[in-house]
């Protein structure tokens, strides 16, 4: 009922009418739409709880990570740009921000780095003036911070433990007979209502009135996301208002108000930045991917517009999901590049593996214009990569192979194979086999390393890309002297130290840590430009191969199965990709065996042939027979009684039953591995631990395949024998025989489930009986020694000692 009340309060606040507010007490006692209101209230309460936890966590970030300089001193947020060098480094802040913001004074050939050589001198003068003007404010802020820290430390752990002991589930749910439950309900409803008023109602109406006043209401309504956009606009206006109020409080020396307004501004700022980073940016990437790939699917913008008009929420979610996947794999590829390239090459990208990297601290400390610049640069980079690896290859393919595109992405197929079966086969067999193999990443890493070595030797950039350990050892003393001289002059290091050293030195505030120097060749900027061109050509060729080769192979292989019928290109691409992966795997294995000689190769071939034969037998049993029997049993127990009337004959499709059985078998295996310890879990864990190379065929057949297949065959055959052999001997009518034949499977399932529930309840009642008896009559327990009676036959037996008193 609490969640239903929250849902009705939420609807009342956002209805916008006085009548709903007047009828709110009666609506809270109504039973209409109770389930829908409960679901909406659960969502509202969940959002409220998550927002409250986020606020507490953000407070901890501000307390432990330190507040921004403008908050500790009297400078307003929009004047904090000149102080960002003195801010605590927002863990792992990438040099993409440092390159454009930090001062530099390089030689002529390094003039590409830095923007303002005199920035540090001007900043030092500004800091001295600000420090002279803000002495009083600083002292007062330090006193406030010390008081706040003292308040945080003055808490009694015993009181919190006592409160936690008193707050039990019985008291919270009102099962102890007290009325504290009603008090808890009142407080929960009141706090949630206050939270909705402050964080949802006020920003929404601020944004609504602003949009109405500016005349943008119709455009916002046409977006189908009026509430979300209006609330975000309200938060933006609220942030601007907080900045202005913070500046006014600074001018009139209201220090407590200034700090409170600054903290509120940080909360709103971090919230908006999280929405932009996690919501807006992946959505932009997803839509850009869709727009650049329209010709690949023979679609137009009009089709996408109609799709958005028919299902706006689903369309936006799918585009956001595609964008998130794109961003995730891009970040994964960057992490792989860092494992290959010399430390310092990717100075313009943030290192996500850096233990000091903390994006929340960056959101707190860095000014808005830097986040905006980073966002624009990210959109440009990601958008350019999509143009290079998707739009341009599609144009080339349409020009060279006019009949290859578009891909067939129809929802239904004329092929004699069910789309559902192919989809399940793809999701349960093909993709996991590709994603769970560690060889794929090693191959990609090897290709990147080979390309890097080739490009390095062609352009004489091997030292820059991969490093040169010999030169580093020979010139270590010279590099140390150059580093010291560069730091003393507060300028970019000399040519021999490299392009990244200045950015890393500024970032680490004391010299490049873990930086590997390199040999800088002549015409270095031209060689870097040629490297970028070579990289773009390589990415273009790789994209052309990935878009054509798997689909060609998949279409050719699927044509032997489906003939001339067209099927979804996702399946052909997955089939071709899987075949290409198997081919590359076989070639790499043979290449690894070649140096070992003919005898070793023959022995390896025999071992692998035996292993493949065992694997095929196990696959036929566990991936063929078991899923087929499981899918057929599910069809007889669940699907046929629900979908086929008694006067019709059900039709069974073994292929679809097998595909559904694969899904059910994986679900049952996952549940078994997560459940308690019993014989099936032990056997599955043992088989998984042995792996394919140490496969034990006898153990699998005797302990896993035979018992499971026997149980499934008994579950299928016993009801059929009863319905077809025993029931006709009883002389019942044909209608009754048909009813028994069609309903015996779900009936026996219900009987088995009821027996299992009764057995479980009996065990639970026995445990409850023992627990109550021990609580009532058990005085204590005593550990006694066990003595054999066989050695004391002649002596009189000692009186037995009881373990309970």
Going by pLDDT thresholds of 50, 70 and 90, the confidence category of residue 130 is very low
Residue 804 DSSP class: B
Classify residue 665: in a domain, yes or no: yes
Poorest-pLDDT segment among 97-106, 463-472, 708-717: 97-106
CB 205 within 8 A of CB 14: no
Determine the Cα–Cα distance for residues 117 and 103; give it in Å rounded to an integer.
6
Higher local confidence (pLDDT), 479 or 113: 479
First-to-last alpha carbon distance for the chain, in angstroms, is 48
Q: Which of 172-181, 214-223, 241-250, 720-729 has the lowest mean pLDDT?
A: 172-181
Average pLDDT over residues 396-407: 89
Q: Of 262-276, 405-419, 450-464, 615-629, which range is least confident?
A: 405-419
101: closest CA among 88, 110, 113?
A: 113
pLDDT, average across residues 261-269? 91
Q: 150 pLDDT band (50/70/90 cuts)? A: very low
CA geometry: angle at 531 spanning 528 and 532, to 5°?
90
Please compute the mean of the pLDDT values over residues 3-29 and round it to a whole number. Answer: 57
**Segments forming the whole domain that contains residue 624:** 599-747
Residue in the block written with tokens 């639970």: 764
Ramachandran angles phi, psi of 499, nearest 5°:
-75, -35
3-state secondary structure of 600: helix
Confidence of residue 121 (pLDDT cuts 50, 70, 90): very low
The greatest distance separating any two alpha carbons of the chain, rounded to the nearest whole angstrom, comes to 108
Return d(Cα 341, Cα 446) in angstroms, integer: 12
**Looking at residue 113, what DSSP letter applies?**
S
Please tell me the least confidently modeled range out of 20-34, 57-71, 147-161: 147-161
> 85: Cβ–Cβ under 8 A, 6 or more apart, which residues?
102, 120, 123
Closest CA to 455 of 328, 301, 506, 463: 463
Please give the angle made by the CA atoms of 674, 675 and 680, to the nearest 5 degrees. Answer: 100
Cβ neighbours for 613, distance < 8 A, ≥ 6 positions apart: none
* Alpha carbon distance 359, 365 (integer Å): 10
Residue 412 lies in a domain: no
Express each pLDDT in 509-530 by its tens digit.
Answer: 333 344 678 888 888 999 999 9
- Residues 70 and 127: their CA atoms lie apart, in Å, by 12
pLDDT in tens, 615-627: 899 989 998 899 9
Report if residue 195 sits inside a domain. no
* Mean pLDDT computed over every residue of the chain: 75
3-state class of 101 per DSSP?
A: helix
Range of weakest confidence among 19-23, 287-291, 342-346, 664-668: 19-23
Say which DSSP state 781 is in. Answer: B
pLDDT at residue number 47? 80
| Confidence class for position 485, pLDDT limits 50, 70, 90 | very low
Q: Is residue 759 part of a domain?
A: no
560: pLDDT strictly greater than 50: yes
Contact predicate 476/469, CB 8 Å: no
Q: Does the pLDDT value for residue 133 go beyond 70?
A: no
Residue 616 CA, distance from chain mean position:
35
Q: Say how far apart CA 408 and CA 569 lie, in whole Å.
A: 5
CA-CA distance, 443 to 259, in Å (whole number)? 54
439, pLDDT greater than 90: no
Which tokens hold the place of 16? Answer: 């916008």
pLDDT of residue 90: 37
Q: Over the stretch 406-434, which tens digit does the pLDDT of each residue have?
A: 888 765 444 434 445 555 555 555 555 55
- Backbone angle region of 624, left / alpha / beta, with phi > 0 → left and psi within -120 to 50 → alpha: alpha
Q: What is the mean pLDDT of residues 663-687?
A: 88
Of residues 51 and 40, more confidently modeled: 51
Q: What is the mean pLDDT of residues 235-247?
A: 92
Burial of 680 (0-12, 13-18, 19+ CB in 10 A): middle
Query: Would residue 704 count as lying in a domain?
Result: yes
Respond yes or no on whether the N-terminal peptide bond of residue 406 is cis (omega within 30° of 0). Answer: yes
pLDDT digits (tens, 9 = 90+) for 192-211: 778 888 888 888 889 888 88
Q: What is the DSSP letter of 296?
A: G
Instruction: Report residue 400's pLDDT band, with 50, 70 and 90 as the boundaries.
Output: very high
| pLDDT of 803 higher than 80 | no
Which H helix or E strand runs over 42? helix 34-65
Q: Structure pTM?
A: 0.65
Report yes or no on 201 lying in a domain: no
Q: Distance between CA atoms of 805 and 802, rounded to whole angstroms? A: 7
Is 644 a domain residue?
yes
Q: Which residues pair with 804 in a beta bridge?
A: 781
Beta strands in 99-184 (DSSP E): none
Q: At what angle do helices 734-777 and 706-721 cross, to 10 degrees?
A: 130
Q: At 342, list the tokens.
A: 């010399």
Is 602's pLDDT higher than 70? Answer: yes
The set of residues, in sequence order, having a beta carbon less than 8 Å from that of 177 and lying 6+ positions away, is none
Query: Where does 287-371 show beta strands of DSSP type E?
Result: none
Distance from C-alpha of 83 to C-alpha of 81, rounded to nearest angstrom: 5
Q: What is the mean pLDDT of residues 445-471?
A: 84
- Evaluate if residue 135 carries a pLDDT over 50: no
- The Cα–Cα gap between 261 and 246 comes to 6
> Between the ranges 53-57, 92-96, 266-270, 667-671, where is the mean pLDDT highest?
266-270
Please tell me the predicted confidence (pLDDT) of residue 198.
82
Return the structure tokens found at 636.
């007889």
Total domain count, the chain: 1
Can you tell me the distance from the alpha carbon of 101 to that of 96, in angstroms, rounded to the nearest whole number?
A: 9
pLDDT of residue 422: 55
Q: What percent of the chain has pLDDT over 70?
A: 70
> Is residue 731 included in any domain, yes or no?
yes
> How confident is residue 757, by pLDDT bands cut at 50, 70 and 90?
very high
């Amino acid at each position: 009922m609490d969640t239903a009340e929250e849902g009705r309060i939420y609807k009342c606040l956002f209805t916008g009418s006085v009548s709903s507010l007047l009828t709110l007490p009666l609506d809270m006692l109504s039973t209409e739409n109770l389930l829908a209101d409960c679901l909406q209230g659960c969502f509202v309460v969940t959002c409220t709880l998550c927002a409250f936890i986020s606020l507490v966590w953000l407070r901890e970030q501000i307390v432990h990570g330190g507040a921004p300089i403008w908050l500790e001193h009297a400078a307003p947020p929009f004047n904090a740009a000149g102080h960002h060098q003195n801010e605590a480094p927002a863990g792992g802040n990438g040099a993409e921000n440092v390159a454009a913001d930090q001062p530099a004074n390089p030689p002529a050939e390094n003039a590409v780095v830095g923007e303002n050589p005199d920035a540090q001198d001007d900043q030092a003068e500004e800091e001295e003036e600000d420090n002279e003007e803000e002495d009083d404010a600083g002292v007062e802020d330090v006193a406030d911070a010390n008081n706040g820290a003292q308040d945080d430390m003055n808490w009694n752990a015993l009181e919190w433990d006592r409160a936690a002991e008193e707050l039990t589930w019985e008291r919270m749910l009102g099962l102890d007979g007290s009325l504290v439950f009603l008090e808890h309900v009142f407080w929960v409803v009141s706090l949630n209502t206050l939270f909705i008023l402050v964080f949802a109602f006020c920003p929404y109406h601020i944004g609504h009135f602003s949009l109405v006043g500016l005349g943008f209401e119709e455009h916002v309504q046409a977006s189908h996301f009026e509430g979300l956009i209006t609330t975000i606009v309200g938060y933006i206006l609220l942030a601007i208002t907080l900045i202005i109020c913070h500046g006014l409080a600074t001018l009139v020396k209201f220090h407590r108000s200034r700090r409170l307004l600054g903290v509120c501004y940080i909360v709103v700022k971090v919230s908006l930045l999280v929405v932009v980073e996690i919501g807006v940016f992946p959505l932009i990437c997803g839509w850009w991917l869709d727009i650049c790939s329209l010709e690949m699917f023979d679609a137009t913008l009009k089709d996408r517009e109609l799709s958005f008009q028919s299902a706006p929420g689903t369309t936006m979610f799918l585009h956001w999901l595609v964008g998130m996947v794109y961003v995730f794999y891009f970040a994964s590829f960057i992490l792989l590049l860092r494992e290959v390239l010399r430390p310092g090459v990717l100075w313009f990208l943030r290192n996500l593996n850096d233990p000091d990297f903390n994006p929340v601290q960056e959101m707190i400390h860095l000014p808005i214009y830097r986040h905006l610049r980073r966002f624009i640069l990210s959109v440009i980079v990601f958008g350019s990569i999509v143009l290079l690896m998707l739009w341009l290859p599609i144009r080339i393919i349409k020009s060279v192979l006019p009949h290859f595109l578009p891909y067939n992405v129809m929802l239904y197929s004329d092929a004699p194979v069910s789309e559902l079966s192919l989809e399940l086969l793809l999701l349960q067999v093909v993709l996991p086999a590709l994603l769970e193999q560690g060889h794929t990443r090693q191959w990609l890493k090897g290709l990147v390393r080979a390309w890097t070595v080739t490009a390095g030797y062609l352009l004489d950039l091997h030292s820059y890309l991969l490093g040169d350990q010999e030169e580093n050892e020979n010139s270590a003393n010279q590099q140390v002297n150059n580093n010291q001289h560069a730091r003393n002059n507060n300028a970019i290091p000399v040519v021999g130290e490299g392009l990244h050293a200045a950015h890393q030195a500024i970032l680490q505030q004391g010299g490049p840590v873990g930086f590997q120097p390199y040999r800088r060749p002549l015409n270095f900027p031209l060689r870097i430009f040629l490297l970028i061109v070579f990289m773009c050509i390589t990415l273009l060729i790789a994209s052309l191969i990935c878009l054509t080769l798997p689909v060609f192979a998949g279409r050719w292989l699927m044509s032997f199965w489906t003939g001339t019928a067209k099927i979804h290109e996702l399946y052909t691409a997955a089939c071709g990709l899987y075949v290409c992966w198997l081919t590359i795997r076989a070639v790499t294995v043979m290449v690894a065996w070649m140096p070992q000689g003919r005898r070793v190769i023959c022995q390896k071939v025999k071992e692998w042939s035996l292993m493949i034969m065992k694997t095929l037998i196990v696959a036929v049993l566990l991936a063929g027979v078991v899923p087929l029997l499981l899918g057929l049993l599910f069809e007889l127990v669940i699907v046929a009684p629900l979908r086929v009337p008694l006067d019709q004959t059900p039709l069974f499709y073994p292929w679809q039953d097998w595909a559904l059985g694969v899904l059910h078998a994986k679900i049952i295996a996952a549940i078994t591995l997560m459940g308690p310890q019993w014989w099936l879990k032990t056997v599955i864990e043992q088989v998984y631990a042995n792996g394919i190379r140490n496969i034990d065929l006898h153990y699998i057949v005797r302990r896993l395949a035979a018992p499971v297949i026997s149980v499934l065959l008994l579950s299928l055959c016993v009801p059929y024998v009863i319905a077809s052999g025993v029931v006709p001997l009883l002389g019942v009518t044909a209608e009754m025989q048909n009813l028994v034949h069609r309903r015996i499977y779900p009936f026996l399932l219900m009987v088995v489930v009821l027996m299992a529930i009764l057995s479980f309840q009996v065990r639970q009642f026995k445990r409850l009986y023992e627990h109550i008896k021990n609580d009532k009559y058990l005085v204590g327990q005593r550990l006694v020694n066990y003595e054999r009676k066989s050695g004391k036959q002649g002596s009189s037996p000692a009186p037995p000692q009881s373990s309970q008193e």
